[in-house]
Amino acid sequence: MGWQSYVIGFNTPEQREKILDICRLHNETLDEVEAEELICFCEADFKPGKQYKRGCLAGCEKVILCGNGGGRCGTFEFFASHISPDFPRRVEGYSTALEKRLTEPVPFELNDIVN
């Protein structure tokens, strides 16, 4: 299996914490998810005027980036089933086009952040 990157958009601190809780749950239930651990967490902002107007990242001001070495389908399904209806599905794969829209990503450790 190869590396898969995930981009999860958000706007508020509460949405950010929810995303991180979902990522922690993913990593705690890897056997059920049939995927590898999410690692290499970073956070970035959209550059001024570079936000998406359509698609699953539309209207998002910030993103969390992470990835894993396998289990793409299981991880995407996990995100889709754990992000509640009041929090739109904002998970996308990483691309060069997206990279040009973002500020320099700032790395962080998922387990260093406690609610």
Q: Model confidence over 76-99: pLDDT tens digits? A: 889 888 876 555 455 667 788 888
Distance separating alpha carbons of residues 95 and 61, to the nearest angstrom: 17
Fold of 4-108: Alpha-Beta Plaits (3.30.70)
Domain boundaries, the chain: 4-108
Q: To the nearest whole percent, how much of the chain has pLDDT over 70?
A: 89
What's this model's pTM, rounded to 2 decimal places?
A: 0.87
DSSP state of 37: P
**What is the C-alpha to C-alpha distance for residues 46 and 63, in angstroms, rounded to an integer?**
8
**Residue 92: helix, strand or coil by DSSP?**
strand
Q: What would the mean pLDDT of 12-24 be, rounded to a whole number?
A: 93
Q: In what order do the strands lie in the sheet with 91-92?
A: 91-92, 4-10, 62-68, 39-45, 106-107
As given in the structure block, the two tokens for residue 61 are 């001001």
